[in-house]
């Protein structure tokens, strides 16, 4: 499974990536601090899940999610934020989750169990479940 993570705060990004790696150690996690870099990567690579900070410089997480959905329509979006007021906006892109910082391994595991576009594990690889 290819997982994307973005936060413009380096410490928050490190915590997020650490929690994702603890929850799914055999999966690929690519982290970014700039939305433009994440989008460039997404254009060239398959992506299953994106953990997106909402408040970032240049482009907020809601806008980034909309652009990601144009590239990968079945990508699972999970918003990660310290602000609860954005929860209603997360529904506009059919987010698979909305979690408050700091994110823990258990929260990541719960998110993975409840994805809008599930990704199931097969021995040696992960496969997107088509719906």
Domain CATH for 78: 3.40.50.2300
- Distance CA(131)–CA(115), nearest Å, equals 12
Kindly report, residue by residue over 3-50, the tens digit of the pLDDT: 999 999 999 999 999 999 999 999 999 999 999 999 999 999 999 999
Number of domains composing the chain? 1
pTM of this structure: 0.86
Residue with tokens 């408040």: 55
> Which residue's structure tokens are 């997360």?
90
The domain containing residue 11 runs over which residues? 2-128
From residue 110, alpha-carbon distances to 34, 37, 95 in Å are 26, 28, 14
Q: Say yes or no to pLDDT of 90 above 90.
A: no
Per-residue confidence band for 125, with pLDDT thresholds at 50, 70 and 90: very low
């Amino acid at each position: 499974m290819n997982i994307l993570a973005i936060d413009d705060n380096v410490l928050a990004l490190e915590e997020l990536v650490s929690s994702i790696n603890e929850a799914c150690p055999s999966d690929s996690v690519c982290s970014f601090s700039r939305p433009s870099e994440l989008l460039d990567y997404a254009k060239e690579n398959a992506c299953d899940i994106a953990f997106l900070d909402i408040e970032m410089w240049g482009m907020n997480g809601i806008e980034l999610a909309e652009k990601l959905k144009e590239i990968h329509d079945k990508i699972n979006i999970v918003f990660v934020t310290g602000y609860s007021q954005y929860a209603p906006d997360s529904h506009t892109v059919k987010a698979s989750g909305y979690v408050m910082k700091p994110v823990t391994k258990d929260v990541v595991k719960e998110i993975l169990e409840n994805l809008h576009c599930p990704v199931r594990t097969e021995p040696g690889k992960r496969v997107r479940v088509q719906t």
